[in-house]
Structure 1
Amino acid sequence: MKKNLVLFVLFILPIVAYLFFASGVDGFTKLPTITEKIPDLGKWKSHDNEAIHLQGKITILGFSGNDVYSKRGNYFNLSQKIYKRYSEFKDFQIVIVAPVGTEKQVDSVMTKLKTVSEMKNMHFVFANQNEIDTFYKSMKLQEQLDVEKGTPNVFIIDKEKNLRGRKGLNKKNEEEYKEGYNTSLVSELHNEMTDDVKIILAEYRLALKKNNADRKKYGL
């Protein structure tokens, strides 16, 4: 009896544990789509006069509104909790949409951010307010822009320009819906958003592994 118990612990239990965790992989590595195929950023230029695009990038997308400087603390939180953690991934970027006319505020905010971290993959892009309103509506969000025509929330956009978030039953079997992450709440960035960005990156790593395995299998 004792011998059988030892054998169970040594051999059977690890297999059961593996199967248990493996069965949860699909659930863990799939973050629901909130809105499919949002538009790209078109010809909007960044503060560095670059053309920035969503297609082919994992993007954290935000909207500053007219009072960019008042949200400098939010962008500091974002840079420390999200950007520094994932900036080494070559397809990762943070993009903040700002109204034309806020360029000096953006320069001031970026100067401050660069004193604590390199910010090569964080971009502010500029558009007129009508363009911003049209773009924001296309995302089909429940939350509206605030009185300054911005939001403290940021959104996860995958490489195919799908808005990703949380909806449906969570691990506690409770109904959940999350389309954005509040940059004024460090705990929300550190816990929920970090987990969700990690899931998106895991999706693409798994897809890349599968693609490489298929190429080897068929001698490509």
Structure 2
Amino acid sequence: MKNKLVLISLFILPIAIYLVFSTASHNSLFLPTISKNNQEIPSDWSSLDGTKQAMKGKITVLGFVGTEVITNRGNFFNLNQKIYNKYKGFKDFQMIMVVPSGKEKECQQIIDELDPITGDMSGWKFVFSTPEKIQEFYDSYKLNGQLDDNKGTPAVIIVDKELNHRGRNGKNRKGENEYKESYNTISAADLHNEMTDDIKIILREYRLALKKNKNERKDAFRDNIKENIEKQK
């Protein structure tokens, strides 16, 4: 019994303390789900490089740019510097911006402007469709916010690998109720202080799940070998 207590104090307790102090401001090891099983990017929407874009299997920052692409270039810069540059190294992380058709050249200009200060822009994706279809797609998420007359908004949302909309919905560290469905790209502080924290949590979720699956496979493999050895005896 004494040895077990020693092991707990040496190994388990420090890990538990680390997890507590590494949580986000909403005091959660997991980022709450706002809505489940949302709509995928329609297969008939075009992209800058002509390839089909999808969110399934990726952690996606989803945005709706509208027609004023160049006018709102500062929003792209904020999002690029505060979010994309921090997480572009994760192969399952991407940014998908929804834009009305006809604005392809302006979007390519944004890519060209960001490329010298970013390097790898492969995670920045732009998809194009009609204003009507964009509105329908946006409405399917049942957000509190609204698109403006140009079919754009400065707000972006986080969509996980299973097409679930993720955000804040519960009590924060102060014990106050908190609900946050989107992040304002106009506000560098909002991106730096809250969105960065939330993406960090969701990435950690998947890392922990991957580690758990690997451990379970190792245990199953070990048990299978043990079983075969015992059968041979």
Please name the residue that 2:54 is paired with.
53
Q: Distance in 2 between matches of 1:41 and 1:18?
A: 39
Q: Distance in 1 between matches of 2:189 and 2:71?
A: 20
| 1:217–1:15 Cα change, 3 Å | closer
| 1:13, distance to aligned residue in structure 2 (A) | 9.8
| 1:69–1:23 Cα change, 3 Å | closer
Please name the residue that 2:4 is paired with.
none
State the Cα RMSD in Å: 2.2
Consecutive unaligned residues in structure 2, runs of 5 or more? 1-7, 223-233
Please name the residue that 1:3 is paired with.
none
Please name the residue that 1:169 is paired with.
171
Residues 1:188 and 2:214 are matched in the alignment: no
SS at the partner of 2:53?
Answer: coil
Please name the residue that 2:227 is paired with.
none
Q: Deviations over 1:6-26 (max 9, x none)?
A: xxxxx9699766545556889
| 1:107–1:12 Cα change, 3 Å | closer
1:1-220, aligned counterparts within 5 Å? 18-22=15-19, 28-43=28-43, 44-118=45-119, 119-219=121-221
Residue type of the alignment partner of 2:116: T
Consecutive unaligned residues in structure 1, runs of 5 or more? 1-10
Which has the larger displacement, 159-168 or 108-117? 108-117
Residue type of the alignment partner of 1:159: K
SS at the partner of 2:116?
Answer: coil
Residue type of the alignment partner of 2:78: N
| 1:181–1:216 Cα change, 3 Å | same
| 1:131–1:15 Cα change, 3 Å | closer
What number of residue pairs does the alignment pair up?
210
SS at the partner of 2:194?
Answer: helix
Q: Distance in 1 between matches of 2:64 and 2:142?
A: 15
Q: Distance in 1 between matches of 2:91 and 2:170?
A: 31
Q: How much identity, in percent, do the aligned residues show?
A: 48
